[in-house]
Structure formats: structure tokens, C-alpha cells
Amino acid sequence: MTNSGAHFRILLVDDSSVVRRVLTDVISSDPQLEVAGTASNGKIALERIAQLKPDLVVLDIEMPEMDGLATLAALRKKYTRLPVIMFSTLTHRGASATLDALTLGADDYVPKERNSLGLAAAIDDLRHDLLPKIHALCSRDLVREHRQPKAEHKVPAPPPPRLPEHRIDLVVIGVSTGGPDALCKVLPSLPRDFPVPIVMVQHMPAVFTKLLAERLASKSLIPVKEAQGGEKLETGTIWLAPGGKHLLINSSAQGMFLRTDETLPPRNYCRPSVDVLFESAVKITGGRTLGVILTGMGSDGLDSCEQIRRSGGQVVVQDQATSVVWGMPGAVARAGLADSIKPLTEVAQEVVRRVMKSRTKAGPVTSQDLTRGAYVQQGK
């Protein structure tokens, strides 16, 4: 939660009066939030946005007359910066539509289905999921508009450059809020012959991660797969942690292997967790690890990035200006653990540069090397 004292007005859009009532109760339980209005379909919602000027919209996907995707597309033409959280079902159809919405410019999503412990527990679960996201997205725009100047939001300078201590043999990526769109921009920019394995954690439920892996695979030159556990970790594949399970790296005489685990408790309220993956990587590869932290809420990845740096590995984070929420990368940067802070469009290039530099005796990667990488990406 934010301690700024700011007051945020929320518009709720859902065709179910019961859902609108539950969401109203959840949001109204926070003294810094106010339900400015509700709408039962997208057409009404667009009218209410113009009238009420909310700070954020919670938008259902499946609605009569004008569904969530059509509403979002129309909304983004006029309100490019208005935060939108999709309220989606945990079905294949709902997950696919949610990924479409994130591509169209939605900032985040909250699943409708909750645990089976009863209504009170489900509402409490929703409260813990939705309210922090509302605060993070609304506060993000306050910071960007300089209406909330705070020392902790100042962008730190990267630490002095360090000579690579080890050859990089593994890249691990952690991402949350805004992640699907970020990954759709980063992964296609990696060359087909990228020389080390890549393993990723994106905070998402199970049905979402399978679909996300398929979508990323359709855009990337390197195959992208959802990990099942037991796969040998080799170059030529990018592995995505399955939703609801931690993903770890184990080693044997035959090499490195992936392991999934749903018995370990959530870490930083997340399963899969960035810290769990990164820490398992450090245990196996030590300073031969490059950690990448992209946009996301919270601080998952902070502890393990400290371990990566302490072991002699390297860390790259996304900058504040291009992050949907500068929580995870910001925590690492403010702790002085980032070797490089880059805008999203430069993250892939920075990863390639650092990996290649660590793996050659010929010195730093030149602009011609990077151009050659782009040449390979175009299938030339």
C-alpha cells in the first residue's frame, strides 16, 4: 500500500451486478480508494470515463454489447495512460483474451476465480491481489507526473563498471506486471544462435503461462517452451516457469536439468518465484549467471540478485521510464545491485553484449558484432 495520502477514484466495468457489488466492497475497504462509478458494458464505460475521469479502470472481458477487448481498444485511442486492470476468468478462453488485452495496452489483470475456502476467504484473497495493483499503477503515474516527489523514487546511478569475473553460462529472467508485453519485445531481439540457455519466471497462473509460452514462441527466433520438469538445460531453448509451480535448476554428471515444485511455499507471495529460480541458478552456476529483472510489482528477485552479484555474476534491470511498474527492477537498482539499467528496447542488446563479452578473449563486443546479431535475427 502507498503511504502518500493520495486518493484514487476507480471505475468498475462488469456486466454482473453481484461482481460489481463485491468489487465495490473490496475497493471501498481501502480508505485511499473510492469507487467513482460502475458500468455494465463497454459502451457505458467509455461514457463514464469521460464524465468521471477515474484514476484507474477495472474491466471485465466478457460483456454484452461491447466486450472488454473492444472497450480497451477504444479506450486506448483516447486515454493512452489511464491504468486498466482486466478482470478475467481462469479458463483457456479467458486466459487467451487476457493476453490479447495485455497486448492491446492493459496494464495488469486479476483472476476472477478465487480459492474454495468460502466467500469470505475468496473476498479476502481478492482484496490482497487487487488493491496493491491499484495502488502500484495509480502511484506510478503520480511519480511520472512529479506530483509525488519522494527520495525513494529517484533513479539511482548504476554502480561503477566491473570487469566480468566469470564467463556467463546461463541467463535467468524475472518479470511480473507488464511482463507479457515486455517479453514480446525482448525475446524476438535475441539472435537465433544465442550461446547460453535462458530460463524465465513470469508471475502468472498455470493456464496463462502455457498460452504465453506459445505466443512468445511464435515471435521469437529461439524456441520458447513452458517447463514441465526433467528437461535438460541446453542452448537453443527458452524455458518459462509453469504457473502455480516453482522452477529450479538441478545438476548431475549429465548436465543441468529443470525441476518443478509445487510443495515449496510461495516466496514473496509468488509461486513461481524469481528468487527461487535465481537462487537455484547461483547454486549451480555461481558467478556464471546473468540475472535480468524486468517490469513488475514488489521485490521478488532482490535477494537472489544480491547472491548473483556476491558470487561474481552480473545483473541487468529495466529502467523506470519503460517499466509498467518499477517495483522489482527498482528494488534491485536502489540496492546498488544492477550492473546496468536499460530501457526495454535496449535490454536484449545489453544481454547479448554482456554474454558475448564474457565468452570471448577478443575483447568487448563491437557494434559490428551486434549488427551481425541483428542480421542473423532477420534470417539473413
The residues assigned a catalytic role are 176, 203, 300
DSSP sequence for 278-331:
HHHHHHHHGGGEEEEE-SBSS-TTHHHHHHHHHTT-EEEEE-TTT-SSBSHHHH
Please give the grid coordinates belonging to residue 12: 468498475
Residue among 167, 183, 256, 251 nearest 218 (CA): 183
Are 136 and 177 in contact by the 8 Å Cβ rule? The answer is: yes
Residue among 232, 289, 199, 243 nearest 109 (CA): 243
Residue type, 46: L
Q: What is the dihedral of CA 317, 260, 184, 135, to 10 degrees?
A: -60
Rounded Cα–Cα distance for residues 240 and 198 (Å): 9
Rounded Cα–Cα distance for residues 348 and 345 (Å): 7
Are 134 and 107 in contact by the 8 Å Cβ rule? The answer is: no
DSSP letter assigned to residue 75: H
Cell 509525488: give the residue: 148
Q: What beta strand segments (E) does 89-219 contain?
A: 108-111, 170-175, 198-202
DSSP letter assigned to residue 189: G
Q: In this structure, are strands 289-293 and 238-240 parallel, antiparallel, or unpaired?
A: unpaired
